[in-house]
Amino acid sequence: MKPVNEMRLKIESRSVNEAFARATVAAFAAQLDPNIEEISDIRTAVSEAVTNCIVHAYAETVGQIYIWSGIYENGVIRIKIRDCGCGIENVKQAMEPLFTTLGGERAGLGFAVMESFCDKVRVRSKIGVGTVVTLEKRIKGRENADA
């Protein structure tokens, strides 16, 4: 299926860009007329994926984060967040709640949060090459705004 509208964004992996990235994707999603809950869901999921690029993929270095988003006729938004960082050795394990390779202040809940706020989360990764996280969510918007 071809998206009816697309956007691309390339940002440096600096933590100050986390707020910029989630706000930009949320502004793009606004054309689907989401309700406040759905906007928060998207902002939160994007924030998780972008933060992972900054703290894990590029760790002590600064690299590029590529964000693509597409909107489909059936009210679905798809968001891809890609990095060319260190990659994930075991994706299944990484996605388990509370699993983290950093510890300290990281809860290991980023993927769990993405999964609870999106309909689908897909992760493809290769060590030394990078990671692509694809988020998908159908926006119901005003349909059930009062629900």
Ligand X SMILES: Nc1ncnc2c1ncn2[C@@H]1O[C@H](COP(=O)(O)OP(=O)(O)OP(=O)(O)O)[C@@H](O)[C@H]1O
Nearer to Mg ion, 34 or 130 (CB): 130
Establish if 52 lies at the interface with ligand X (CB under 6 A).
Answer: yes
Minimum CB distance to ligand X, residue 19 (Å): 16
> Which DSSP helix (H) or strand (E) runs through 8?
strand 5-12
CA-CA distances (angstroms) from residue 95 to 8, 27, 42, 73, 91? 26, 27, 18, 30, 6
Question: Which of 18-26, 27-35, 79-87, 103-111 is the region at the interface with Mg ion (rule: CB under 5 A)?
Answer: 103-111
Specify whether 106 is catalytic: yes
> d(Cα 142, Cα 147) in Å, to the nearest integer?
10
Write out the binding residues for ligand X, residues 81-120 only, by CB under 6 A: 83, 85-88, 94, 99-102, 106-111
Q: Is 48 a catalytic residue?
A: yes
Query: Considering beta carbons, is residue 73 or 105 the nearer one to other proteins?
Result: 105
The CA distance from 9 to 69, in Å, is 9
**Residue from 34, 70, 85, 110 binding Mg ion (CB under 5 A):** 110
3-state secondary structure of 76: strand
Q: Among all residues, which ones are annotated catalytic? A: 48, 52, 106
